[in-house]
Structure 1
Amino acid sequence: MNHYTSKNFALTRSVGFLLNKARNMIIAEMDAALRDLEITSQHMGILLSLKSGVATTPFELSKVLGIDTGLMTRMLDKLEDKKLLKRVRSVDDRRVINLEMTARGEAVTTQLPQIAPQVLNARVKNFSKDEFDELRRLLGKFIGDSE
C-alpha cells in the first residue's frame, strides 16, 4: 500500500522527517546528560555494545550501530584518546582488531544505566504503557526487527 502520493506528501509530516526529528531530540538530550562523563550518545552506544558483548570489533560495531566505518574509526580514536577503550590485535588473526574496555571505560559504563533511562523516560512520560509498547512494536516493524 502506498501511504504517500504527490498530492498528500508534506515534508514535515512524513515519517522520515518525524523519525529524524525525534532522533535529533533524543541525541541532544542524551548528549547533554552525558556531558559530565565527557562522552556522547554515540560513544555510549559503543561502550554499551562492548560491555554487553554484542560487538568486539570496529566492523561489528559499525553493523550493530549503523555507523559507517570512517565515522566509527574517528569515534574509536576519541574513546581511545580518553582512555576508555583500547585496540588489541587478535592473536588468532593479526588482521582483526579487537576492542577492549579499559578500567576507566568500565567506570564510565557503570554510570550509564542511571543516566540513559532518565533521559528516555522524560521523552515518553506522557505515553501510557500500551502506547509505549505500541510505539516500540511499530518502530520494530518499521526497521524490520522481528522481536
Structure 2
Amino acid sequence: MTDPTPTPLSEVVEYDFGESVGYLISRVKSTMSNLINQRTVAELGVTVQQASVLFMVASGKCVLAAELAREYGIDASAVTRLVDRLEKRGLLKRVRSSEDRRAVRLALTTEGQSIAARMPAIFTGIAATLLNGLSPEEVGFLKSMLRRVLANGCEASQNTNQNPGQNAPTNS
C-alpha cells in the first residue's frame, strides 16, 4: 500500500504563512472569538455569535436581518436560523414595522437587553487581555491601521464588483 500523504507543493512549503498578515489577523480574530465565547457561554448561556447579534440589535446598528447578514458577511438563511434560535430562547423578537409592513425589525426582550448590556465589559476584558503590554499609543496605532485595512477592503470590494476579474490577489 502506498503512503496516502502527497508530497507538499514547493510553492506552499516556501510560503511562510506565519508571517502572512491575513493569517495573523485571522488568528487574532479566532483567538478573540474563542475567548469571548468561553465567557459568554459560561456567564450568559449564549454563544459569541448569539451575544454579538444581541449586542448589535441593542446598539441599533443592526435592526433588520439583512443588516446582520451584511455586517457579519453571512447569508440570509444563516441569519434566519440564528434569529430563530434567539427568538425561541426568548431573547429577541421579530416586530413588523408600522411604516413598512414588509419590513420586520428585530427587538430584544428584557432578558436579551440584559445580556447585551453585559457585552461591553466582556469585550473590554478580552481586549485588555489580548492587548496586554501594548502602550495606549500602540493600541491607537493598531486601531488606525486596522481601520485603513478595512477601508482598503471596502474599496477593493467595490472595485471588484464594478470590474470583476480586475483585482488580482496579493501574497500578503
| Smaller-chain TM-score bracket | 0.7 to 0.9
Query: Where does the alignment leave 5 or more consecutive residues of structure 2 unmatched?
Result: 1-10, 153-172
Instruction: Output one character per residue of 1:75-120: Cα deviation in whole Å (capped at 9) or x when no partner.
Output: 1111112111001222332221110100111111222222221111
Match of 2:23 in 1: 17
Match of 2:70 in 1: 63
Q: 2:137 is matched by which residue type in structure 1?
A: D
Which stretch shows the higher mean deviation, 44-53 or 79-88? 44-53
Determine whether 1:28 maps to 2:47: no
Q: 2:91 is matched by which residue type in structure 1?
A: L
Alpha carbons 2:63, 2:106 under 8 Å: kept = yes
After superposition, where does 1:43-122 map in structure 2 within 5 Å?
43-122=50-129
Q: 1:57 is matched by which residue type in structure 2?
A: L
Q: 2:86 is matched by which residue type in structure 1?
A: L
Post-superposition shift, 1:9? 4.0
* C-alpha distance in 1 between matches for 2:99 and 2:90: 25
* C-alpha distance in 1 between matches for 2:61 and 2:22: 27
Determine whether 1:140 maps to 2:147: yes
Larger radius of gyration: 2
Query: Where does the alignment leave 5 or more consecutive residues of structure 1 unmatched?
Result: 1-5
RMSD (CA atoms)? 2.1
Alpha carbons 1:90, 1:96 under 8 Å: kept = yes
After superposition, where does 1:120-135 map in structure 2 within 5 Å?
120-135=127-142
Q: 2:105 is matched by which residue type in structure 1?
A: N
Residues matched between the structures, number = 141
* C-alpha distance in 2 between matches for 1:9 and 1:139: 23
Alpha carbons 2:97, 2:104 under 8 Å: kept = yes
Q: 1:42 is matched by which residue type in structure 2?
A: Q
